[in-house]
A and B are shown apart, each in its own frame.
Chain A
Amino acid sequence: MTSSNPWETERNKIIGLSDNSVRKSYFPELQKNYKNAKEKEENLSAILNSVLDGIFIHDFEGRIFDVNDAVCRMYKIRREEALLLNIKDFSVKPFSDLKTLWDKIGTEKSLIFEWKALRPLDKTQFEVEVSLQKANWFGKPAVIDVVRDINDQKLLQEQLLQSQKMDVVGQLAGGIAHDFNNMLTGILGNAEMINLLCKTESSIKGYAENILKISRRAGELTSKLLAFSRKGKLMSIALDVHEIIQSSVAILERSIDKKITIKTCLQAKKSCITGDPALLENVILNLGINARDAMPQGGQLTLSTQNLSFSESSKLLNLKILEPGEYLYIEISDTGCGIPKELLSKIFEPFFTTKETGKGTGLGLAAVYGSVKDHKGAIDVYSEEGIGTVFKIYLPLEKNTAPSEKIKEEAIEKGKGRILVIDDEAFLRKVISDLLSSLGYEVLLAEGGKKGIEIYSFEKDTINLVLLDMVMPEMNGKETFLKLKEINPDVKVIFSSGFNKEGRAEELLALGAKGIIPKPYRLNELSRIIKKNL
């Protein structure tokens, strides 16, 4: 037996003469590990700072280990300053509330909730959504706090809610307005008849005039209500908003205190939109009058315009308040007393007013809101108490830039012919019949769609025009119209409406209607539209 040791080589190893030694140093590996660790730390830092949400890492006593760049932007604080503070300095609610939450993350893996954040330096507050997670930060138990600013989101949600609320109120208002308009038509019609029959000046004529005046005002009220509910007459013609603003300013200059200076700055190069000039004039006038009321000691009212383009990323587009496209931006601002923050969300509500009883109906801004919405626009308000208020209106531009001609008032026009009146309200049938007769026309009456069609089918050759109510039970105006067209494709129909639910003006005109006269209407309006179409 011999030794398994290779004698010479082993001896050489002992005395240090072997060629190779397996001995290594840890240093190269340590350096590599250090370099890797440093790179990992840099990568982690880059990732943390690229995240748009704020990230706090702190211990269970609130001592902050680290924050990312988003925290500095959100809370308007430098990193060095943030690291000296406690997490409770970033919260409106007290430390005990925070502790309660941290205790929960022991049992639950993570926690998500809404919170009120505080900027430690300027003490402003904002809404956030927070996600908490337990962690181990270099050997110490820690909490990772991811904070998302939801302030804008909450504001937009509130706006949407408000908009939805207004829709509901609008529906209600529209319903009331319809019935009211029908009655007003009756009142006006009867008053007109009294006026017509009283040829000489008498006290009866005077009373009839009063009824007419007051009924007209009542009609304006319902039209405002309908405007707010977006169910009113909507004329759709191309118009120049700058002309509307200038004519409105001319009216305002005559009617408001000289202590208030009116300034216009109409910078928009494109100012043509599709819409209703009367409604828009009301918008400008309403806002102007409100501004006047906010400046009893005088001040400045500024009306300015500019063109804006909204792309997909706009906040106003996020909740579908506006579609992408080109807009005319109208700004109406005053240097008045301002509107308290808690009232800002209510100002567009119908019947909401801060004026004394009798001084305001509370429908002005509601009508403004409705009118703007009806023009597929949006309205926003910004106000600071003691400084002033700014109304911001966005209206989509008309692609065809030429405004159409203005509508002018006409005198009463008499005529000859046979008119079929179809209306479900008996008192309206009576008064319309009397009015038409006073104009010289022969009148046939039908109490509903079915009766109207029956009469027309027998008398179509002698009937020159049909005056058709829009809203009727059993068979509405549109359905009746289509049936009449089946009997005679060239039938001349004028719709009268107290409520535009059953079909917009354009649709009916496109179907072949000759015109639309909204209730309550004046005799001259009625006479003109009939004359024009016979």
Chain B
Amino acid sequence: MNPAEPLNLEMRKIVAPEFIFGLDARRLALRYIKNLSLEKVFIASDKGTLEAGWTKEILKLLRESSVPHELFLDISPNPRDHEVMKGAALYQKTGCDSILAIGGGSVIDCAKGVGIVVSNGANILEYKGIDKIAYPMPPLICIPTTGGTSADVSQFAIINDCKRKVKIAIISKSVVPDVALIDPLVLTSMDAYLTACTGIDALVHSIEAYVSNASSVITDLYALESIKLIHACLIPCIKDLKNVDLRGKIMLASLYAGLAFSNASLGCVHAMAHSLGGYLDLPHGECNAMLLPFVVEYNYESAAFKYEDIARIFGLALENLSIPERKNLFSETLLKFKNAAGITASLKEKGIKKEDIPLLAEKALNDPCTITNPRKPTFEDLKNIYLRSL
């Protein structure tokens, strides 16, 4: 921020976990388990992370130290409500007293869901919304294996309501993990496309947090730094997947983005991406990438100054342009950036039809992420954005 400018002193709540950022941070899981005197650990992971070797490594550490644990791998890329309930039942049956999540956003969100259910009871879907969770969950340690989701630091958990085919957002301080072990090395096993999707997801987190109507100087700091890092490092990282330095910067960007959006919330990109993910089970990062430019177009005038800050980071010269011109230039830049990252498909190519749009729009309209969009969308607005994204 500019010290010369007046400071907005409206009260803001900031939540964040204890986190350790750096190489081999993941290996501190054992130390935390012992220090917290945890007797039996529920390990949430997925087959992808298992095959990549990260889960096996941690399991080996636990076995060598005779730490009792229970492994749960039945987690889909968009975690389902029944998967959460199955995990919770296994947690209780096996007498666990803590959760260790090793994986991407899906794994961490499912783990959060399990934690909510085992400490508060009832079905996970009943906790949809903001501040609906009374009791803290058991100790939750997260080892994120993607650079983008930031679920390891956020107060958000996104769960798929399979019956209604919609993603629900659970937002609460109680959802913030106890410890996040953020280790850039784990990103080196991600392929190019996954790197692109998760990187763009982080970018959208930071952009939406920056322009959110709940943003603050504190969250803005993290959002802008995140955007800078992603803009500079994502494409090179995609081209040099084993570069630990670049992976580190992307991981840092993801962390910053998480700290930002966790406390400023998001906007229509995520609302509409949640709708797509719930209805058609499309990958979250991809949906964000496909929708971003069009939502920016829709929002631009409502947060012009903020979008211009981002545009400057992208290296755009906006001085002599009108607002519509700046809007077009910025949204096109974002489109190109997304394409350069390798995400080139449109919604149409992903199987979305015109007939799907009204239902998609309806679900998006009721997503809590719309609350903090800089422009309050209507049903028609959302339908139009979907149409433009086809």
Q: Are B378 and A23 in contact (CB under 8 A)?
A: no
Q: Which residues of A are found within 8 Å of B371, using beta-carbon distances?
A: 5, 7, 10-11, 14
Kindly specify which of B133-141, B233-241, B288-296, B321-329 makes contact with the partner chain: B133-141
Q: Residues 137-164 of chain B: 1 if any A CB is under 8 Å from the residue's CB, otherwise 0?
A: 0000000000000000000000000000
Q: Given A14-B265, A15-B11, A23 and B131 touching (CB < 8 A)?
A: yes
Q: Are B370 and A22 in contact (CB under 8 A)?
A: no
**Chain A interface residue bracket vs B:** 20 to 34
Q: Which residues of B are found within 8 Å of A1, using beta-carbon distances?
A: 362, 365, 378-379
Q: Residues 34-72 of chain A: 1 if any B CB is under 8 Å from the residue's CB, otherwise 0?
A: 000000000000000000000000000000000000000
Q: Is B130 an interface residue (CB 8 A)?
A: yes
Q: Are A15 and B12 in contact (CB under 8 A)?
A: yes
Q: Are A13 and B133 in contact (CB under 8 A)?
A: no
Within 8 A of B (CB), among A5-40: 5, 7, 10-11, 13-18, 21-26
Q: Are A14 and B378 in contact (CB under 8 A)?
A: no
Which residue of A is nearest B130, CB measured?
A13
**Chain B interface residue bracket vs A:** 20 to 34
Bound complex: CA A13 to CA B213 (Å): 13
Q: Given A11-B214, A22-B134, A2 and B13 touching (CB < 8 A)?
A: no
Q: Are A15 and B13 in contact (CB under 8 A)?
A: yes
Bound complex: CA A15 to CA B11 (Å): 8
Residues of B within 8 A of A (CB): 11-13, 129-136, 171-174, 213-214, 216, 263, 265, 362, 365-366, 368, 370-372, 376, 378-379
Q: Which residues of A are found within 8 Å of B132, using beta-carbon distances?
A: 22
Bound complex: CA A1 to CA B172 (Å): 28
Q: How far is the CB of B3 from chain A (nearest CB, A)?
A: 23
Q: Are B11 and A16 in contact (CB under 8 A)?
A: yes
**CB < 8 Å A-B pair total:** 63
Q: How far is the CB of A336 from chain B (nearest CB, A)?
A: 72
Q: Is A203 an interface residue (CB 8 A)?
A: no
Q: How far is the CB of A281 from chain B (nearest CB, A)?
A: 83
Which residue of A is nearest B14, CB measured?
A16
Select B214's contact among A3, A5, A14, A25, beta carbons within 8 Å: A14
30 contacts between A and B (CB under 8 A): A1-B362, A1-B378, A2-B365, A2-B378, A3-B366, A3-B370, A4-B366, A5-B366, A5-B371, A10-B130, A11-B213, A11-B214, A11-B371, A13-B130, A13-B171, A14-B171, A14-B372, A15-B12, A15-B13, A15-B263, A16-B11, A16-B13, A17-B11, A21-B131, A22-B133, A23-B133, A23-B172, A23-B173, A24-B134, A24-B135
Q: Which residues of B are found within 8 Å of A22, using beta-carbon distances?
A: 131-134
Q: Are A5 and B171 in contact (CB under 8 A)?
A: no
Bound complex: CA A23 to CA B372 (Å): 22
Bound complex: CA A7 to CA B11 (Å): 18
Which residue of A is nearest B383, CB measured?
A1
Given contacts A1-B378, A17-B11, A18-B131, 17 further A-B contacts (CB under 8 A): A1-B362, A2-B378, A2-B379, A3-B370, A7-B376, A11-B213, A13-B131, A14-B171, A14-B372, A15-B12, A15-B214, A15-B263, A16-B13, A17-B13, A21-B131, A22-B132, A23-B133
Q: How far is the CB of B150 from chain A (nearest CB, A)?
A: 16
Bound complex: CA A2 to CA B365 (Å): 7
Which residue of B is nearest A7, CB measured?
B371
Which residue of A is nearest B379, CB measured?
A1
Q: Residues 243-270 of chain A: 1 if any B CB is under 8 Å from the residue's CB, otherwise 0?
A: 0000000000000000000000000000
Which residue of B is nearest A29, CB measured?
B135
Select A11's contact among B134, B136, B372, beta carbons within 8 Å: B372
Q: Which residues of B are found within 8 Å of A5, using beta-carbon distances?
A: 366, 368, 370-371
Q: How far is the CB of B112 from chain A (nearest CB, A)?
A: 15
Bound complex: CA A17 to CA B130 (Å): 12
Q: Which residues of A are found within 8 Å of B129, using beta-carbon distances?
A: 10
Q: Which residues of B are found within 8 Å of A2, using beta-carbon distances?
A: 365, 378-379
Q: Which residues of A are found within 8 Å of B171, using beta-carbon distances?
A: 13-14
Bound complex: CA A5 to CA B373 (Å): 13
Bound complex: CA A10 to CA B130 (Å): 7
Q: Which residues of B are found within 8 Å of A26, using beta-carbon distances?
A: 135-136
Q: How far is the CB of A242 from chain B (nearest CB, A)?
A: 80
Which residue of B is nearest A22, CB measured?
B134
Q: Which residues of A are found within 8 Å of B135, using beta-carbon distances?
A: 24, 26
Q: How far is the CB of B17 from chain A (nearest CB, A)?
A: 16
Bound complex: CA A350 to CA B230 (Å): 115
Most chain A CB inside 10 Å of its own CB: which residue of B131, B136, B368, B379 = B131
Q: Given A2-B379, A4-B366, A14-B372, A23 and B174 touching (CB < 8 A)?
A: yes
Q: Which residues of A are found within 8 Å of B376, using beta-carbon distances?
A: 7
Q: How far is the CB of A22 from chain B (nearest CB, A)?
A: 5
Bound complex: CA A24 to CA B263 (Å): 20
Q: How far is the CB of B214 from chain A (nearest CB, A)?
A: 5
Q: Which residues of B are found within 8 Å of A10, using beta-carbon distances?
A: 129-130, 368, 371
Most chain A CB inside 10 Å of its own CB: which residue of B132, B172, B371 = B371
Which residue of B is nearest A16, CB measured?
B13
